[in-house]
Amino acid sequence: MFAFLQPKLTISEDDLRAGLRALTMQGTVMMGFDAITTGGFMAAYALSLGASNAQIGILAALPFMLQPLQIPAIAVVERFRKRKQISFFTIVLANAVWLPAALIPFLIDAPGTLAITMLLVFVAIRSAVTPFFNVPWMSWMKDLVPSQQRGSFFAKRLQYATALGMALGLGGAVFADIWKEQASSPSAIAQGFAYPILAATLTLGVAGWYFVARLPESTMPARPDGPKQSLISTVMEPVRDPSYKYLIRFKFLSTFAMQLAIPFFAVYMIQVIGLPVTVVMGFTALSQLANIGFLGAWGRMVDRFGAKPILSASVSLYLLVILGWSFTTLPERHMMTLPILGVLHILAGIATAGMNVTQGTIAMKLAPEGKSTAYLAASSLSISLGAAIGPLVGGVFADFFQERSFRVALEFIHGVDVTSFTPFYLTGFDFLFAISFVFGLLTLGVLTLVREEGEVTHEEVMAELMGPMRGMTRTMSSVPGVSSLVNLPLDTARRTSVPGLDVAVGVTAYQVAEAARAAAHAAESIARGARRAGAETETMARNMLIASIHSANAVEEDSRRVVRSSVRTLMRTLGISKRSALDAAYGAGYGVMEAAEATGIDPETAARQAIDAARDSVQHLPGVTPEEAVSEVSHGLIDAAGVLPDEDAASVRRVAEEAMNHNGETTGPDEFGPRDQD
């Protein structure tokens, strides 16, 4: 009856591709579901049922308080060794619990003690089931998603998922606010939140079951040779691992520090600042847009630099965001409150993107083969414990500091006149944000003790973030002071020694440069497309190059030499004028990618050889500079990269963009051996 839930000895390439598509859809619908059943929307629902600050903290902590159930879940997985079956049945039960949770305001008077108690009970039931989904799921995903593309794959999956979550969260909030205007009783107001939860459960919740059922599962790897370990030994092994124990410690401490404050952001905006739910969810949508925009960049950096430096940068940036919430009121709402909230949500979205991409990636990377279930469960459990304790302590702190304040005031006294200015004022939730920031700083040192193969320094990550901006300024290098102007914000941020400030400057510069580059590329592509309409030189170059590489491939000639030689010959043959030479360069770049896709030549290697050849050929072309030749061949490479698989396309685009940013120089021809000469 449940044959579709059985594991397979091997997974074919077709099954893997179909499985990864289903995994993307599963993540998308489930994050859309989570947008309605967690976060700001759920906090607003709880408030409508009569929740206090402490109960909001309990609500946020419950999904994590019961995560120690991952320990028996490990035993269940190791006993049955059928991860798909366990995951499927638990997600069915976990999602179904939201049906009675959404019916509370229809059956019980709200707000009231019984209403909020029932919500807490149903959330507790779901939270008790979730560990039995998470443990087999993480182990299953480690075996399903190829290691060399985990960063970019999960980043793309999160992009789609976050987009749907943003739309549904905002849509649910708009519905709840409109409903509130028409509601005739407090219970009716709560029903405005209940209807979106019901709708999401019956659509997205069911879709989540369906896509889990579509995922292929390979047979679990054999247990390591040797005597069978007890459950206690299995659970304790990650804690004793020389490097993994520090990862577990960091995840627990950093999550605890941030969860002191994060669950109360929505409450703060609704109760203290006085924003309607729609505006609150609008800010959440803004954060999710920033998240989507930076997921791809973080994913590429994780694959290139390792997860640890990206995790460090993301956490430090989020801690800076938490501190920034203390300045949204002084102590009342002021003219800069909404702009500050906007900036904080954008930076929070970028930081969350980095943490989402790296948390699971680094845990999978450091988990030994054959022992991933226990190791990944320990990593997940450490986060869960931090997320369980943090909101509980945060709720107590929020109530304790509610009637307390601390301020720094400046006064100018002139006779009997006194002019006062209060640049710093902490009261209520502000204390919570400051405490969260300070404690979070103390945890960053633990991450330095984690050892990840291939990791780079923080400075290299910052150089990557600032790279696009510096590349833009190279074209203006003759303007005095431009380089210093670009470097000044980052250098100033470093000198201030405020953790996360340099990352905030870096990601801002990256976004500005990428937006400018996209706009410039779009304009240039339109112009180039218009002037090439009907042009024959480009088509001729593409066809000639493809034929040349096909012929060389047939006799097994060195592909790198063939690419360089073919591009040079084409440009010299067809470049009878500057315009035709540039068209030939573009066609050569495009043709190289088409030929690489057809013959199996490594696309990144071919792209580098084409760029080198274009630069070396300009001495024989009329009026063409190396920068112009490289720019045209690079645009051809980029435009043709769409025929390639996603990973190869990303590599080709990176090589082409680096060449254009560095005045035509690729990242070192020595990588492919010395350049041949004509």
Domain annotation covers residue 378: yes
SS3 label, residue 424: strand
Count CB atoms within 10 A of the CB of residue 572.
16
Q: Are 429 and 566 contained in the same domain?
A: no
Q: Are 584 and 462 contained in the same domain?
A: no
Whether residue 4 is predicted with pLDDT greater than 60 in this model: the reply is yes
Q: What is the CATH number of the domain that holds 255?
A: 1.20.1250.20
Domain annotation covers residue 449: no
Model pTM score: 0.56
Q: Are 58 and 203 contained in the same domain?
A: yes
Give the domain-ending residue among 508, 531, 554: 531
Between 589 and 507, name the one with better pLDDT: 589
Cβ neighbours of residue 132 closer than 8 Å, sequence gap 6 or more: 69, 73, 76, 86, 90
> Tokens representing 618?
């300009």
Q: Are 398 and 469 contained in the same domain?
A: no
pLDDT for 526 equals 47
pLDDT for 540 equals 60
SS3 label, residue 252: helix
Q: Are 263 and 399 contained in the same domain?
A: yes
Q: Are 155 and 282 contained in the same domain?
A: yes
Q: What is the mean pLDDT of residues 107-123?
A: 90
Domain annotation covers residue 616: yes
Structure confidence by residue, pLDDT tens digits, 315-338? 888 888 888 888 888 777 888 888
Give the domain-ending residue among 510, 531, 552: 531
Beta strands in 165-320 (DSSP E): none
Whether residue 119 is predicted with pLDDT greater than 90 in this model: the reply is yes
Enclosing domain of residue 252:
20-221+248-438
Q: State how far the alpha carbon of 144 is from the alpha carbons of 17, 132, 166, 220, 298, in Å.
A: 10, 19, 27, 11, 21
Q: Are 187 and 302 contained in the same domain?
A: yes
Give the domain-ending residue among 378, 409, 438: 438
CA angle 214, 215, 216 (to 5 degrees): 115
Domain annotation covers residue 361: yes
> Rounded to an integer, what distance in angstroms lies between the CA atom of residue 611 and that of residue 633?
7
SS3 label, residue 675: coil
Q: State how far the alpha carbon of 244 is from the alpha carbons of 254, 336, 368, in Å.
A: 15, 43, 10
The rounded mean pLDDT for the chain is 77
pLDDT for 202 equals 92
Whether residue 447 is predicted with pLDDT greater than 60 in this model: the reply is yes
Q: Are 483 and 506 contained in the same domain?
A: yes
Domain annotation covers residue 230: no
Domain annotation covers residue 12: no
Total domains in the chain come to 3
Q: Are 329 and 361 contained in the same domain?
A: yes
- Which DSSP letter does residue 477 get? T
Domain annotation covers residue 235: no
> Tokens representing 435?
């405490």
- Measured over all CA atoms, what is the biggest interatomic distance in the chain, rounded to whole angstroms? 97
The answer to whether 584 touches 575, Cβ cutoff 8 Å, is yes
Domain annotation covers residue 595: yes
Q: Are 332 and 474 contained in the same domain?
A: no
pLDDT for 500 equals 63
pLDDT for 474 equals 46
Q: Are 570 and 610 contained in the same domain?
A: yes
Q: Are 546 and 524 contained in the same domain?
A: no
Q: What is the mean pLDDT of residues 36-58?
A: 84
